[in-house]
């Protein structure tokens, strides 16, 4: 599309803004870097929170208690029926004896009072663990409804309130970080766009002459788009660097915190480049015509 001489020119011009306005560019990258740092931190918190929630959700389970008086064959027949229910990951049989043992263990020193019983009052039950996709209120309810109608089942227990709270907090946090991210995103685009506008205003005469001698619009725009992209990239690297540094300082004190993976870091920087590109495009809206205002 372009000849060699033009490519060389474009590459040089892409860095010309940095060279001619070191301070403006430096401040831009600093401001953007800070905004992106907020964005990265928020992402990291969301990531960690998601991780924690995922772990917590793994604890969501269900106890299906059975009526007394079922014989062992009847009880055993339930096992395959439970396993095929969508969302059920694992089914464990808990006999009255096991239940009693667990109960005793829970009582600790006071376990002695149970010796007064001449028979085991605890019913047999099944312990269901759920697939990750089913660890939410809706799925749990659906499973419960399906099982509740079985004649063999006397009661179903699960930690409903806890699931409720977990869900609503996850949602609220996701919304909040989405809003903050959006604001930070717009601010970053605005900052970049302003700097590119400055560069373009300073180059108004250059642009006019380029149009006059027949430079294509694409050709005219490339250096400014490149400038925005490079600024975005540097700001992204700065943000990641600061975050990494902070992580390194706090290392021992924050056990179990997950940091971005290498792919995620590259993804984030790519995102910053796209952000810079967006800012540049916003800056040159008024330069999109061929008008040279002779």
Binding other proteins by CB under 8 A: which of 73, 205, 253, 286? 205
- Angle subtended at Cα 175 by Cα 180 and Cα 279, rounded to the nearest 5 degrees: 40
Please tell me whether residue 19 binds other proteins under the rule CB under 8 A. Answer: no
Rule CB under 8 A: say whether 24 interacts with other proteins. Answer: no
Closest to other proteins by CB, 46 vs 210, is: 210
CB of 7 to other proteins, least distance (A): 9
Number of residues that bind other proteins (CB under 8 A): 25
For residues 190 and 224, give the distance between their C-alpha atoms in angstroms, rounded to a whole number: 15
- Interface stretch with other proteins, choices 26-34, 229-237, 255-263, 285-293 (CB under 8 A): 285-293
- What's the closest the beta carbon of residue 219 comes to other proteins, in angstroms? 7
* Part in contact with other proteins (CB under 8 A); list of ranges 77-85, 113-121, 183-191, 284-292: 284-292
If binding is defined by CB under 8 A, does position 290 make contact with other proteins? yes
Instruction: State how far the Cα of 24 lies from the Cα of 195, in Å rounded to an integer.
Output: 7
Residue 106, interface with other proteins (CB under 8 A)? no
Task: Provide the b/e sequence for 21-44 (b: ≥16 CB within 10 Å).
Answer: beebbeebbebbbbbbbbbbebbb
Tokens of 294: 């002779």
Shortest CB 191 distance to other proteins, Å = 26
Sheet-wide strand order for 88-94: 88-94, 125-130, 61-66, 153-158
**Residue among 127, 131, 132 nearest 147 (CA):** 127
In this chain, which stretch among 3-11, 189-197, 234-242, 274-282 interacts with other proteins, using CB under 8 A?
Answer: 3-11
| Contact between 291 and other proteins per CB under 8 A | yes
d(Cα 95, Cα 111) in Å, to the nearest integer?
A: 19
Rank residues 1 and 116 by Cβ distance to other proteins and give the closer one. Answer: 1
Residue 202 beta carbon to other proteins: minimum distance, rounded to whole angstroms: 10
Is residue 5 close enough to count as binding other proteins by CB under 8 A?
A: yes
CB closer to other proteins, 51 vs 292: 292
Give 58 or 209: the residue with its C-beta nearer to other proteins. Answer: 209
Closest separation between CB of residue 197 and other proteins, Å?
19
Q: Taking the CB of residue 240, how many other CB atoms lie within 10 A of it? A: 21
Contact track, other proteins, 209-248, x by CB under 8 A: xxxxxxxxx-x-----------------------------
CA dist 258 to 46, 50, 141, 173, Å? Answer: 11, 11, 32, 18
DSSP string, 165-192: HHHHHHHHHHHHHHHHHHHHHHHHHHHH
Contact region for other proteins (CB under 8 A) — 46-54, 163-171, 193-201, 283-291? 283-291
**What DSSP line would sit under 89-157, residue for residue?**
EEEEEE-HHHHHHHHHHHHGGGGGGGGG-SS--PPPEEEEEE-GGG-SHHHHHHHHHHHHT-TTEEEEE
Residue of the chain from 113, 149, 262, 294 that contacts other proteins (CB under 8 A): 294
Interatomic CA distance for residues 197 and 293, integer angstroms: 18
Residues forming contacts to other proteins in the complex (CB under 8 A) are 2-6, 9, 205-206, 208-217, 219, 289-294
């Amino acid at each position: 599309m372009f000849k060699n001489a033009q490519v060389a020119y474009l590459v040089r011009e892409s860095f010309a803004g940095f060279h001619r306005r070191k301070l403006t560019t430096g401040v831009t990258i600093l401001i953007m870097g800070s905004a992106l740092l907020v964005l990265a931190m928020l992402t990291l918190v969301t990531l960690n929170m998601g991780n924690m929630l995922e772990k917590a959700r793994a604890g969501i389970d269900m106890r299906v208690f059975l009526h007394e008086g079922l014989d062992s064959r009847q009880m055993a027949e339930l096992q395959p029926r439970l396993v095929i229910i969508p969302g059920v990951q694992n089914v464990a049989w808990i006999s009255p004896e096991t239940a009693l043992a667990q109960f005793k263990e829970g009582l600790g020193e006071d376990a002695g009072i149970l010796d007064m019983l001449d028979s085991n009052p605890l019913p047999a039950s099944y312990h269901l663990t759920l697939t990750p996709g089913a660890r939410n209120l809706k799925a749990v309810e659906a499973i419960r409804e399906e099982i509740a109608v079985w004649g063999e089942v006397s009661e179903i227990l699960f930690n409903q309130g806890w699931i409720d709270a977990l869900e609503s907090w996850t949602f609220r946090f996701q919304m909040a970080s989405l809003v903050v991210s959006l604001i930070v995103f717009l601010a970053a685009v605005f900052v970049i766009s302003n700097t590119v506008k400055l560069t373009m205003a300073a180059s108004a005469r250059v642009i006019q002459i380029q149009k006059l001698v027949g430079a294509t619009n694409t050709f005219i725009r490339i250096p400014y788009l490149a400038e925005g992209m490079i600024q975005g990239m540097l700001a992204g690297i700065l943000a990641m660097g600061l975050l990494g540094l902070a992580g390194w300082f706090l290392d021992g004190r924050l056990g179990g915190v997950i940091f971005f993976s290498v792919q995620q870091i590259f993804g984030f920087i790519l995102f910053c480049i796209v952000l810079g590109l967006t800012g540049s495009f916003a800056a040159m809206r008024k330069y999109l015509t061929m008008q040279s205002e002779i």
